[in-house]
Every structure is written in C-alpha cells, then in structure tokens.
Amino acid sequence: MNRTMIRTITFGIALFLLAFGVTFTQLQAQAGPGVRATRVGVCNIPEIFDKYSRARQLTDELKERTNKLKAENDRRVDTIRIKQTELEGLMPESSEYNKRLQEIQELTIERQVWLKMQEDLMMRDHLRLTRELYKDIKDSVARVAKARGFDIVIQFDPRSPEGKSSQEIVQQIDRRKVLYTDEQLDITAGVLQDLNERFRTGN
C-alpha cells in the first residue's frame, strides 16, 4: 500500500469521525437542555421497618395483645382442667356427673371458637397494619427521593446472607439485586428521619 492510499484512507476516517461528532452534537442539542442522566438511589427497607417509631410501637402493642390473649386462654384451660378433676370424683351414673361433663364440653368448644376468632382477628389486624406501614415508607421514600433528585429508588439490604444451609444462603443471594452502592446514593437515614419526625408530630 503506497503513501498516497494511506493518506486517502486516513483522511476519509478523519472526515467520518468529524461528521459523526457533528451529528452526535446535533442529536444532543435536539434532545434539549433539560435531558439528564437518570439518578438511582437505594434504601434499606429492613432497617426502616426495624427503626421506624410507629412500627416499633405497633410491634409492642401486638406483643402486649398476644400476651393478654395467651393469659386469657390459659385461664380458660385451667378452668376446664379444674372441672375435669372435679368430674373424676363423681360417679359416672349420677346426674351431677352428666351435668358437669356437659359443662366441660361446652366450655371446651367455647374456648376453641373464641381462640380461633381472636387469632383470625389478630392476623387481619397485622395484615392491615403492615400495609399501612409499607404505604408510610413508600410515601416517605418518594418525598426524600424527590428532595434529593433521585428518579428511581431500589431496595438495598447490606446485611450478609445467613442460613442454616448453603441452599438458604444461595436463595438469599439470588434475591439480592443490588450488590454495591455508593453511600451518597443511600437515602435510608433520610427516610427514617422523615418518618419518625412525621410520626412524632402526628402528620
């Protein structure tokens, strides 16, 4: 290949790059001055649930309610046991025996129905409160993200996967979508501050 041909090829490449550069610049100009790169932030949702004051308060209330439910159930069980002990001292052929036996059966059925109703009610309340808490968190994430100029916020859990088997750990790893993030992109602290301040002031 002679020098003339090399110069021609080089000159042609230079013209192509120049033309491409002009075209790319024109495309950018057409896109408008408001176009910018999408900013992505992250938020540690497990930490939010753990440190959100309202979530802690509701957890304490549910624990207290569970303890009261257990105490009442224990009281009913003890009542039935006492009556069963009394029944053992009666003659099976006596009318008093049949009367006590029927009473025990009624108390047993009543306790079972009552316990099932209370457990179902607690499950419904827990589901409703969990939904409310998640809505609180989503609304707060949106407020903080907009204030800091983020367009998208991805859930991030920095904790190391734990499990009793390698399969459990692999499953946790598989669910992780974010493996690293710069601290400046983490809005967890801001969301917690927003949530707890609003809960404290009743907003």
Q: How many domains does the chain fold into?
A: 2
Q: From CA 144, how far away is CA 150, in angstroms rounded?
A: 8
Task: Indicate whether 108 and 11 sit together in one domain.
Answer: no
Angle of CA points 131, 45, 190, to nearest 5°: 110
What band does 181 get if pLDDT is binned at 50, 70 and 90?
A: confident
Task: Indicate whether 153 and 127 sit together in one domain.
Answer: yes
Read off the pLDDT of residues 71-128 as tens digits, 9 standing for 90 and up.
Answer: 999 999 999 999 998 888 888 888 888 888 999 999 999 999 999 999 999 999 999 9
Task: Indicate whether 45 and 131 sit together in one domain.
Answer: yes
Q: Which domain holds residue 183?
A: 36-201
Does residue 160 register a pLDDT over 50?
Answer: yes
What are the Cα distances from residue 184, in Å, to 42, 86, 150, 156, 187?
9, 71, 11, 13, 8
In this structure, what CATH number is given to the domain that contains residue 109?
3.30.910.20
| pLDDT above 90: percentage of residues in the chain | 55
Q: Which long-range contacts (CB under 8 A, 24 or more apart) does 107-112 make?
A: 107/76, 107/79, 107/80, 107/83, 108/80, 110/76, 111/73, 111/76, 111/77, 111/80
Q: What is the pLDDT of residue 31?
A: 53
Task: Indicate whether 86 and 109 sit together in one domain.
Answer: yes
Q: What is the pLDDT of residue 78?
A: 96
The residue that leads in pLDDT, 138 or 158, is: 138
Q: Which of 133, 147, 152, 143 is nearest to 52 (CA)?
A: 133
